[in-house]
Amino acid sequence: MIEPRTLKGFRDHLPAQALARERILDVARQVYRSYGFVPIDTPALEYLEILTGKGSEETDKQLYRFKDHGGRDVGMRFDLTVPFARFAAQHLHELGLPFKRYHMATVWRGENTQRGRYREFMQCDFDTIGTTSPAADLEMVLVVHDLLRAIGIEKFTIRVNDRRLLAGLLESLGLADRSTDVLRSLDKLGKLDAAGVVRELVAHGVAADAAEKLLAAASLAGCPASALEQIAPSVAASERGRAGLEAIRAIVAGSREAGIADGRIVVDPSIARGLDYYTGLVLETFLDELPTLGSVCSGGRYDNLAGLYTREPLPGVGASLGLDRLLAGLEELGRLSTRETPAEIFLVHFDAAHLGDYLRIASALRAAGLPVEFFPEPRKLGQQLKLAAKRGHRIAIVAGSEEFSKGTVQLKDLAAQTATSVDWHGDVAVLVDAVRSKLEVIRGGYSR
């Protein structure tokens, strides 16, 4: 016998988890479309040269790579942004600019598994490519805000920074020539303690006093006004630093004008993002009740990434919802539905002689937009009802020979364990109305 098991870092998704994933995907799709983003798709496999050297040394090490049957070096995508840059360069003249896309798909990274992090996970990306307008940067923040609220999350914080502000800080500390290594180390704040980050910076040749000053500046996270006021002197001599500072101010002001509540946007100079392709605004989004979970929605501006594939300027900006990490957080908070079925109605198979009647009832309910699961065989009533309750069906419709002869059915509230008799006398419209009314009462009484 072969032992049934999954690889480390990979998971099966049971019905309740899979339904929760689909609900969030549906919400994301609606929010993205409300802003005019359109769907695209790209292959899971890319030529290796498309993927390597685009994220970081770490992502290069985490790539799942191999030779295909044609002897070509290929890799499985580690995110959706790099394939999108290739896609945009390849289809530029068919798309028109600016182009706004969303893409929700699985990616793979061979990283160490931990809380909310897996080797196979799904990202829900949205991006605008072909413009450097600050309005596109602001729109990214607004989409993230609207997305989290549409999912039903109210306690979250969007932490913003700008890579140019960080570049100004590094210039002031004489570290501009080490920016890649320094920013990668800085991005580990939260994963490592401050002392650990300092040690890593020193290992990259950064003087201990310069490392301490960098971390002091990075620790100025707080309300926009105070954080920007405190950090401004540190980048006053840097043109890039001043540009980053002004960009953050514009994001803060625009967010307020768009109606985002005060305190939802926090300026955080420690936000660097670990991928090398970011050039401007960067953001990370945290659940206030689980701040150590990590960012559930991250992104930023990347103005040079597509330039690796085309001479056409294709600046871009976008973010990604980390679906699996968000679901892990909601599960930890007890906010995930336990329902294992999308059908609120369960039709009991009580009497095989009335199969045609059952099918007619089920068809009428579905035609009225009411999903119903019909049990395939006439087992004991108690067994069917127990299974229906476990899966989260709200109503069971029970009818046998006696009920059919009288023109009645029983509508059973599976949570309350109460039943109501409905006289329908074969009129499916009457039965549909009765079921719909019963569901409305039950939905108003509890949430599951």
Percent of the residues in the chain that have a pLDDT greater than 90, as a whole number: 73
Residues 6+ apart with CB under 8 A from 119: 7, 8, 9, 10, 108, 109, 110, 111, 113
pLDDT of residue 234: 84
| Nearest Cα residue to 162 out of 238, 242, 230 | 242
Neighbours of 100 (CB within 10 A): 19
Cα 255 to Cα 140: distance, rounded to the nearest angstrom? 11
pLDDT of residue 445: 59
Q: Which of 97-106, 214-223, 307-316 has the lowest mean pLDDT?
A: 214-223
- Residue 316 banded pLDDT, cuts 50, 70, 90: very high
Percent of the residues in the chain that have a pLDDT greater than 70, as a whole number: 99
**228, part of any domain:** yes
**315, part of any domain:** yes
Do residue 314 and residue 349 come from a single domain? no
pLDDT at 4 over 60: yes
Do residue 372 and residue 283 come from a single domain? no
**2, part of any domain:** no
**179, part of any domain:** yes
**10, part of any domain:** no
pLDDT of residue 46: 98
Q: What is the mean pLDDT of the chain?
A: 92
Q: Is 53 left (phi over 0), alpha (psi -120 to 50) or beta?
A: left
Widest CA span of the chain, in angstroms? 90
Question: Which whole number is the average pLDDT over 139-143?
Answer: 98
Do residue 179 and residue 72 come from a single domain? yes
Cα 394 to Cα 411: distance, rounded to the nearest angstrom? 10
- The tens digit of pLDDT for each residue in 25-64 reads 999 999 999 999 999 999 999 999 999 988 788 889 999 9
3-class DSSP state of 393: coil
The CATH number linked to 396 is 3.40.50.800
Cβ(220)–Cβ(231) under 8 Å?
A: yes
Name the helix (H) or strand (E) containing 77.
Answer: none
What predicted TM-score, i.e. pTM, was given to this entire model? 0.89
Do residue 300 and residue 375 come from a single domain? no
Cα 79 to Cα 178: distance, rounded to the nearest angstrom? 25
Cα 89 to Cα 312: distance, rounded to the nearest angstrom? 8
pLDDT of residue 446: 47
Cα 295 to Cα 286: distance, rounded to the nearest angstrom? 5
- The tens digit of pLDDT for each residue in 243-280 reads 999 999 999 999 999 999 999 999 988 888 877 889 99
Going by their DSSP bridges, the two strands 156-162 and 265-267 should be labelled as parallel
The CATH number linked to 71 is 3.30.930.10
Do residue 364 and residue 309 come from a single domain? no
pLDDT at 447 over 70: no
Do residue 131 and residue 255 come from a single domain? yes
Q: Give me the number of domains the chain comprises.
A: 2
Do residue 278 and residue 352 come from a single domain? no
**7, part of any domain:** no
Beta bridge partners of 409: 422
pLDDT at 19 over 90: yes
Do residue 301 and residue 409 come from a single domain? no
DSSP class of residue 353 equals: G
Neighbours of 93 (CB within 10 A): 8
Per the structure, the complete domain to which residue 42 belongs is given by 15-332
| Nearest Cα residue to 394 out of 334, 335, 448 | 448
Do residue 398 and residue 288 come from a single domain? no
Beta bridge partners of 157: 286
**340, part of any domain:** no
Question: Which whole number is the average pLDDT over 201-223?
Answer: 80
Q: Both ends of the chain: CA-CA distance in Å?
A: 39
3-class DSSP state of 200: helix
DSSP class of residue 296 equals: S
**49, part of any domain:** yes
Do residue 219 and residue 364 come from a single domain? no
Going by their DSSP bridges, the two strands 99-108 and 38-39 should be labelled as parallel
Buried b (16+ CB within 10 A) or exposed e, 181-215: bbbbbbbebeeeeeeebbebbeeeebeeebbebbb
Buried b (16+ CB within 10 A) or exposed e, 130-158: bbeebebbbbbbbbbbbbbeebebeebbb
DSSP class of residue 97 equals: S
